[in-house]
Amino acid sequence: MAEITYREAIRQAIDEEMSRDERVFILGEEVAEYDGAYKVTQGLLDKYGDRRVMDTPISEEGFTGFGIGAAMAGLRPIVEWMTFNFSLMAYDQVVNNAAKMLYMSGGQIKIPIVFRGPNGPAEYLAAQHSQALQSIYAHIPGLKVVAPATPYDAKGLLKTAIRDDNPVIFLEAEMMYSWKGEVPQEEYLIPFGQADIKRKGTDITLVTHAKPLRMVLEAAAELEKMGVDAEVIDLRSIRPLDEKTIYESVRRSNRCVVIDESWPFASVGSHVAWLVSRNCFDMLDAPVELVSSDDVPMPYNHKLELAVQPSVEKILTAAKKVLYL
Amino acid sequence: MTEQKMDQLIKNYDRDFLLKLLDQMVLMRRLEEKAGQMYGLQKIGGFCHLYIGQEAVAVGSIQALDLSRDLVITAYRDHGHALAVGMEPNVIMAELYGKATGCSRGKGGSMHLFDVEKGMYGGHGIVGSHIALATGMAYTFKYNKTDGVVLCYFGDGAIHQGAFHESLNLAKIWNIPIVYICENNQYGMGTDFRRVSGTHDLYRMGESYGIPGKQVNGMDVLAVYEATEEAVRQAKEEGVPTLLEMQTYRYRGHSMSDPGRYRTKEELETYRQQDPILYLKSVMTAGGLLTEDEYKEMDKRARAAADASAEFAENSPEPELDTRFEDVYAKEAVNG
């Protein structure tokens, strides 16, 4: 299998779906002539023209609502937000329009649209450019939310997202764009609502999603050195959520740590931790632990920003706690 | 700009066309009165924004459309537009009642009337937000290289929202076939639009985006029709979006709970003198195109339809409780 970057995996998914379905088009800031702020859409303008690859003004509410309107009338847009931080300018459009249209029209109007872009902290970007915002999207019924952490998952999930008849929030990460992984030549799709066990193990279940996956796998390797065999579950899809895979694992391991780079209050991580606590109560040998970012805005200083976020060390500390080590 | 008066315009139209306009406005009026009455009896809950006084805007403008392809989208004062595209009074009233037979199956209510088959794309509750949707809807005509236009209605209160300004800019840079129709009924809820607007000529708000605007007497159904027809032609043939400011007035409160203390009885009376229905009726009568008896017959039919719609709504079933879980997500379309 060929090794490609996460960036290239997303580009391939968009390209393949655009050539497969004439109704698919992409719009956003710098997606066309500039080839994408993170080069995800490189080459697409040349291939498909400005009718289907549209540079927008810096006008998130306007072009997001525009995309939703195009979906109402039968197209299948992909809206690229340069980052999810800027999606807050368009939050009304997503929550009040995209997520509600099918329901309040009594089932008449579908919204087949993908909102995608980098989410979560990168480096040295400070408070307004370093937010992991999955929780505020996952909270909304009517939206689907996915957060792939490998090139393979990114490509398969994005193709599914583009073919889905619902609004899908597709969370990438700036730091992940250059990550490499194996992606097959032949076409494949990954269904939503299926978590992936990224490492099999028996002693403890580590549940995560998105960018922290890599450090969770590193933590699992450290645990192995201590004689602890950790299972790592990558949710991939936040809404719908694959509760079954999580519970089956925890019922085998009897111990669980949830890792989420968002803030701890009312987050995807805290929700998953609560679900496990309630639904695996009799099988747990220790209270579920949550490793999140600190409950503060992101500081600029590098040492401070690293201290704020989850780390291998923090994961190991939490794991040892539930293992009583 | 000078506008021709209706008594001059009327010569250009045949009687059947004029009767149709009058008939629609009368039906709208009677249905809204019935809705207001039923609200008072607590058959309808929540917000209920009546269109009384503004009928000429929806009727005149939608008359300029080809509803086999053109689309309409509006804000929450949407009963009039729903009727004007040809939705049945029964399904509208049933939706106001929240019944299963309503156009949105009781999920939408007064503010969210939809009928995709008839080109009615809602009924939207967040002020100004749907203007962006309308712009994207209109892009599909250009994208698919098909002939069509979107009429996007909103109030004077929406015109200061970012979504309006961002949308006009997008419509201009991408040559979108759309007509933005600002129904300036003078008050954003209880606030006189002159108190909160840097300009009192709202039709000029598109100028900085290169979008032509026109102020229209929104109490004159033929003036509305002609202005919209011209804007629709420009949108379809030249890809030029237009902003029309329809100067109109609502007789009732913003919603049912509004006593309207922000305006005087005299002001209301002045506008009642320009009532869009009475205006067309008087011009038609003077021109020998309508007798008093014919008008009475028309009004009788409208009242009967309004009564029948309330009866239909009353006798319709409530939605099944399980339907609350339906239509949150569309079924998968993996090969869509």
**Spatial contact of B63 and B141, defined as CB atoms under 8 Å apart:** no
A64, A75, A165 ranked by CB distance to B143: nearest: A75
pLDDT > 60? residue A113: yes
- Among A50, A86, A108, the strongest candidate for a mutation testing the B interface, having the largest count of B CBs within 10 A, is A108
Q: Is the bond preceding B213 in cis, omega lying within 30 degrees of 0?
A: no
List chain A domain ranges.
2-183, 196-323
Query: Mind telling me how many Å the CA of B209 is from chain A's nearest CA?
Result: 13
The model's pLDDT over A152-198, given as tens digits with 9 standing for 90+, comes to 999 999 999 999 999 999 999 999 999 999 999 999 999 999 999 99
- Catalytic center residues of A: 60, 129
B112, B136, B327 ranked by CB distance to A67: nearest: B136
Candidate CATH numbers 3.90.1150.10, 3.40.50.920, 2.60.40.1250, 2.40.110.10; the one for domain A196-323? 3.40.50.920
List chain B domain ranges.
6-314
Report yes or no: A67 at the B interface, CB cutoff 8 Å. Answer: yes
B136, B140, B174 ranked by CB distance to A65: nearest: B136
Judging contacts by C-beta atoms under 8 Å, the chain B residues touching residue A107 are: 105, 326-327
* Residue B123, H or E segment: strand B120-123
Query: Mind telling me how many Å the CA of B329 is from chain A's nearest CA?
Result: 6
Tell me whether the CATH fold assigned to A2-183 matches the one assigned to A196-323.
Answer: yes
Query: In angstroms, rounded to a whole number, what is the distance separating the alpha carbons of residues B95 and B108?
Result: 7
* pLDDT the model gives residue B5: 79
- Among B73, B78, B143, the strongest candidate for a mutation testing the A interface, having the largest count of A CBs within 10 A, is B143
Do the chains contact at A69 and B170, CB–CB below 8 Å? no
- Among B91, B166, B168, B326, the strongest candidate for a mutation testing the A interface, having the largest count of A CBs within 10 A, is B166
Prediction pTM value: 0.97
* pLDDT the model gives residue B334: 44
Is CATH 3.40.30.10 the right assignment for the domain spanning B6-314? Answer: no
* pLDDT the model gives residue B196: 94
Do the chains contact at B167 and A112, CB–CB below 8 Å? no
Query: Mind telling me how many Å the CA of A45 is from chain B's nearest CA?
Result: 15
* pLDDT the model gives residue B333: 52
B125, B132, B330 ranked by CB distance to A93: nearest: B132
* pLDDT the model gives residue B336: 40
- Report, as an integer, the average pLDDT of A254-269: 98
Query: Mind telling me how many Å the CA of A232 is from chain B's nearest CA?
Result: 28
Is this prediction's ipTM beyond 0.90? yes
Query: Mind telling me how many Å the CA of A88 is from chain B's nearest CA?
Result: 14
Percent residues over pLDDT 90 in chain B: 91
Report yes or no: A168 at the B interface, CB cutoff 8 Å. Answer: no
Do the chains contact at A72 and B136, CB–CB below 8 Å? yes
Nearest-CA neighbor of B171 among B130, B206, B200? Answer: B206
Do the chains contact at B162 and A62, CB–CB below 8 Å? yes
A64, A76, A105 ranked by CB distance to B104: nearest: A105
The model's pLDDT over B180-221, given as tens digits with 9 standing for 90+, comes to 999 999 999 999 999 999 999 999 999 999 999 999 999 999
Mean pLDDT per 10-residue section of chain B, whose length is 336 residues: 73 95 98 97 94 97 97 97 98 98 97 98 97 98 98 97 98 98 95 95 97 97 97 97 97 88 91 94 95 98 98 98 97 54
B102, B136, B174 ranked by CB distance to A68: nearest: B136
- Report, as an integer, the average pLDDT of A296-302: 98
Do the chains contact at A164 and B334, CB–CB below 8 Å? yes
Do the chains contact at A73 and B328, CB–CB below 8 Å? no
Candidate CATH numbers 3.40.50.300, 3.20.20.150, 3.40.50.970, 3.40.50.2300; the one for domain A2-183? 3.40.50.970
Give chain A's mean pLDDT. 98
Do the chains contact at B132 and A104, CB–CB below 8 Å? no
State the count of interchain CB pairs (< 8 A) between A and B: 162
| Burial category of A21 from C-beta neighbours within 10 Å (exposed 0-12, middle 13-18, buried 19 and up) | middle
* pLDDT the model gives residue B4: 75
Do the chains contact at A102 and B330, CB–CB below 8 Å? yes
Do the chains contact at A112 and B133, CB–CB below 8 Å? no
Query: In angstroms, rounded to a whole number, what is the distance separating the alpha carbons of residues A200 and A202?
Result: 7
Do the chains contact at A106 and B106, CB–CB below 8 Å? yes
- Report, as an integer, the average pLDDT of A136-143: 98
Do the chains contact at A110 and B330, CB–CB below 8 Å? yes
User: Positive or negative CA dihedral for A306, A307, A309, A313?
Assistant: positive
- Among A54, A104, A115, A144, the strongest candidate for a mutation testing the B interface, having the largest count of B CBs within 10 A, is A104
* pLDDT the model gives residue B8: 83
B103, B114, B140 ranked by CB distance to A73: nearest: B140
**Spatial contact of A165 and B330, defined as CB atoms under 8 Å apart:** yes
**Spatial contact of B255 and B49, defined as CB atoms under 8 Å apart:** yes
Report yes or no: A41 at the B interface, CB cutoff 8 Å. Answer: no
Beta bridge partners of A232: A199, A206
Q: By CA distance, what is A96's nearest residue in B? A: B126
Q: By CA distance, what is A67's nearest residue in B? A: B136
- Among A72, A110, A164, A237, the strongest candidate for a mutation testing the B interface, having the largest count of B CBs within 10 A, is A72
What are the helix and strand counts (H, E) for chain A?
13, 14
Do the chains contact at B112 and A74, CB–CB below 8 Å? no
For A278, residues 6+ apart whose C-beta sits below 8 A from its C-beta are none
Query: Which structure tokens are listed for A220?
Result: 């699992």
**Spatial contact of B119 and B72, defined as CB atoms under 8 Å apart:** yes
Q: By CA distance, what is A107's nearest residue in B? A: B327
User: Positive or negative CA dihedral for B286, B292, B297, B299?
Assistant: positive
**Spatial contact of A133 and A84, defined as CB atoms under 8 Å apart:** yes
Question: For residue A198, what are the CA distances in angstroms to A210, A232, A275, B189?
Answer: 12, 5, 21, 56
Report yes or no: A103 at the B interface, CB cutoff 8 Å. Answer: yes
pLDDT > 90? residue A59: yes
* pLDDT the model gives residue B3: 64
Report yes or no: A109 at the B interface, CB cutoff 8 Å. Answer: yes
Report yes or no: A51 at the B interface, CB cutoff 8 Å. Answer: yes
A97, A141, A165 ranked by CB distance to B331: nearest: A165
Q: Which of residues 73-102 of A touch B (CB under 8 A)?
A: 73-77, 92-93, 96-97, 101-102
